[in-house]
Amino acid sequence: EKPLGKYGRMRKTYLKEHRPILYNQMLLNGTLWPHLQDVQRVASEQLERTIAALADKFPAPDKERAQLLWVAHMNGLKAQAEEVVVREIVYQ
């Protein structure tokens, strides 16, 4: 089994702090770990798709001529995509 990624850990923390009854039920019946792995997988896939869609809509500067601008642009796209993913998948 793979260790949990960022989004799986965020979901676990969310469940523990905000949905303790659901967290304890899932822990006791053995569905917590598969649920967290599924959240990690879905969130990662959604993040990649959202970044690709944003990159198509807002093209990045030329990577060869303006590396710092390209990195800043891509970091901004990732931050925007991550906001959506966290709100829609992790904190639902």
Summarize pLDDT for 40-67 with one digit per residue, the tens: 999 999 999 999 999 999 999 999 999 9
pLDDT score, position 65: 94
Inform me whether the pLDDT recorded for 1 exceeds 80: no
Three-state secondary structure call for residue 62: coil
What percent of the chain is modeled with pLDDT above 70? 99
Distance CA 16, CA 69 (A): 39
83 close to 54: Cβ distance less than 8 angstroms: no
Smallest Cα–Cα separation from 47: which of 16, 10, 17, 18? 10
Determine the pLDDT at residue 92: 87
Q: What are phi and psi of 5, to 5 degrees?
A: -90, -170
How many other β-carbons are positioned within 10 Å of the β-carbon of residue 6? 14
**Does pTM surpass 0.85?**
yes
